[in-house]
DNA sequence: TCAGACTATTTTGTTAACAATCATGTCAAC
DNA sequence: GTTGACATGATTGTTAACAAAATAGTCTGA
């Protein structure tokens, strides 16, 4: 019998973490490239890490796999996904279909506060980039695109974008040539300028160009990493 | 010791159904409106229906909820989702962002066989509509949009479209005025004509118009069905 | 020294029993 | 007769033990 059932209206019990949060946390870790492609995600380790039972971890991994951020191999466990070149092209094709529209909608619907947030975000990106805080820079770079989807106020597209941004981090981890950072924040700045000018079409066009630049900076059609990599690595000529 | 481990390369054991198949089956049932919004999906019933254990049903329901086709209420079970008007607008906004691009890509990539399949599909739609096989007509109508995504050869967008088409069926079930069938198959026919003319831009434009017509035929901004419905239903004026 | 088979341990997958919550129906009191 | 509390039944959520698979390690034999 509960002593004081006064305001138990907290949605979740305070000491337990929901699987949605676990999914979100792993998404973040992948975006920041703290979890590189192919990393094994053993159940026991995750149980320890999050302090929850195996069932909850199992459900979280299933959700992650349904978003194609982790691969589930039967009887062998869960691994951070390693997108193929084909999948990489598909992800960018989807982003090119979605994000210009998102940018246009976001411009139409942005309030003064939203634009202020965007400006502040750009500043944070700049300073992170300037101070060589690489992890933070990567995280903010992805977050910018999420922020646009939030301003566009469309939950469906927001969810899609979270998945696509996360997978893009994996793609950059695999196919990103050594020099490639993530997004050039100059591009982001120009997009914010389009916001301040209230020019939706310009924002959409800039976004299209931005995505094209990122994709073309990748070395698709090259290594697959792992199996094939070894073959070519030791090929004699 | 296996007697003949010769070609056990069947991916799944033959007598057991995978949760992916269960998800697919329920998707189909929702598309065909055999599972109306709000239908309770009790675990025991589904266990009986698919002849599998509770765990697999549980996982399937989790996957379905992550696609927003079923709602999971804690301690109360799973129900077929009842999209709100807001969600309906978001779904159509996402479709308007994705499907014109999909149509254009599909035209670019369609082989002779694909176009033949599309023509055959239109015929089936016509005959189903003519013979008043309503269930079949609805199913084919949604299938047309999936077929385009398949021809576009983009797994990411194909998965998104399966979700959006399924949710659209729920939306039509709730907000579709009495007269609204699903898609007018004339629209589909015109899109196939654009394929035969190899005119990607025309296909994209026709798709945009097609989606706008469907959305505008809905009665959004009206009933929510269920709770609110009762209030207004018994309101004295 | 290396290859192959065998054993042991770890890790994943499944099942079943248990606990908790919610819905239904009943009964008493006003 | 209606409202409230109460008890019962059914359904969901969780835990723990068990089974199966895969990996790692060891040993034997060329």
User: What's the pLDDT score for residue B200?
Assistant: 98
- A35 contacts: CB under 8 Å, gap ≥ 6: A26, A29, A41, A80
Q: Using one digit for the tens of pLDDT, what is the confidence trace for A28-40?
A: 999 999 999 999 9
Q: What is the pTM of this model?
A: 0.90
Mutant choice from B61, B91, B94 vs A, greatest count of A C-beta within 10 A: B94
Please state whether beta strands B40-41 and B70-73 pair in parallel, antiparallel, or not at all (unpaired): unpaired
Mean pLDDT, residues B136-149 taken together: 94
The pLDDT tens digits for B163-190 are 999 999 999 999 986 655 566 768 999 9
Q: Is residue A159 predicted with pLDDT exceeding 90?
A: yes
Q: How far is B92 from chain A (nearest CA, A)?
A: 10
Q: Measured on CA atoms in the order B196, B201, B203, B209, is the torsion positive or negative?
A: negative
B91/A156 CB distance under 8 A: yes
Question: Which residues, including other chains, have CB under 8 Å from residue A125's CB and lie 6 or more apart?
Answer: A137, A140, A141, A144, A185, A188
User: pLDDT band at A135, cuts 50/70/90?
Assistant: confident
B-proximal residues of A, 150-209, CB under 8 Å: 154-157, 160, 164
Chain D positions with a protein C-beta closer than 7 Å? 11-16, 21-23
Any chain B CB within 8 A of the CB of A148? no
Q: Distance between CA atoms of B117 and B123, rounded to whole angstroms?
A: 10
The helix or strand, by DSSP H or E, that contains position B107, with its residue range, turns out to be helix B85-109
The candidate with the shortest Cα–Cα distance to B148, out of B139, B157, B136, is B157
- Give the nearest partner residue to A157 out of B62, B94, B154, using CB atoms: B94
| Tens-digit pLDDT profile for residues A110-122 | 999 999 999 999 9
> Angle at Cα A73 formed by Cα A67 and Cα A74, nearest 5°?
120
**Cβ–Cβ below 8 Å for A98 and B102:** no
Decide: residue A113, CB within 10 A, 0-12 exposed, 13-18 middle, 19+ buried: exposed
Q: What is the separation, in whole angstroms, between the first and last Cα of chain B?
A: 77
A93 at the B interface (CB within 8 A)? yes
Q: Which residue has the tokens 């949710």?
A: B167
- CA proximity to B152, closest of B94, B210, B191: B191
Which alpha helices (H) appear in A67-133, and where do they start and end?
A: 85-109, 112-130
- Taking CA atoms, A224 is separated from A93, A94, A175, A227, B39, in Å, by 20, 21, 8, 8, 45
CB distance B225 to B82 below 8 Å = yes
Identify the pLDDT of residue B185. 67
- The backbone torsions φ and ψ at residue B78, rounded to the nearest 5 degrees and listed phi first, read -110, 140
Please name the nucleotide lying closest to A73, CA to C1': C12
Q: How far is the CA of A6 from the C1' of C27 (A)?
A: 29
Report the 3 state secondary structure along B20-84: HHHHHHHHHHHHCCCCCCCCEECHHHHHHHHCCCHHHHHHHHHHHHHCCCEEEECCCEEEECCCC
Using CB atoms, which residue from A62, A90, A97 is nearest to B97?
A97
In the numeric block, the tokens 């990103």 are attached to A176
CB-based contact A188:A204 (threshold 8 Å): no
- By Cβ distance, the residue of B63, B94, B97 closest to A62 is B63
| B18 or B52: which leads in pLDDT | B52
Q: Work out the angle between the directed axes of helices B134-152 and B185-196 (0-180°, nearest 10).
A: 30
């Amino acid at each position: 019998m509960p002593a004081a059932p006064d305001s138990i209206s907290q949605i979740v019990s305070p000491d337990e973490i929901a699987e949605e949060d676990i999914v979100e946390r792993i998404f973040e870790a992948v975006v920041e490239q703290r979890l590189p492609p192919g990393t094994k995600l053993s159940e026991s380790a995750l149980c320890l890490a999050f302090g929850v039972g195996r069932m909850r971890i199992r459900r979280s991994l299933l959700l992650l796999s349904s978003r194609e951020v982790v691969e589930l191999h039967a009887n062998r466990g869960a691994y951070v996904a390693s997108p193929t070149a084909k999948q990489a092209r598909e992800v960018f094709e989807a982003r090119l279909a979605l994000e210009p529209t998102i940018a246009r909608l976001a411009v139409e619907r942005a309030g003064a506060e939203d634009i202020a947030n965007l400006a502040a975000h750009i500043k944070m990106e700049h300073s992170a980039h300037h101070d060589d805080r690489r992890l933070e820079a990567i995280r903010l770079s992805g977050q910018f695109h999420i922020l646009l989807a939030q301003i566009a106020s469309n939950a469906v597209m927001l969810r899609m974008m979270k998945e696509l941004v996360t997978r893009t981090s994996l793609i950059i981890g695999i196919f990103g040539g050594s020099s490639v950072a993530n997004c050039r924040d100059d591009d982001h700045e120009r997009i914010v300028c389009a916001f301040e000018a209230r020019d939706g079409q310009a924002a959409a066009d800039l976004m299209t160009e931005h995505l094209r630049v990122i994709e073309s900076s990748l070395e698709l059609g090259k290594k697959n990493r792992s199996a094939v990599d070894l073959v070519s690595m030791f090929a004699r000529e």
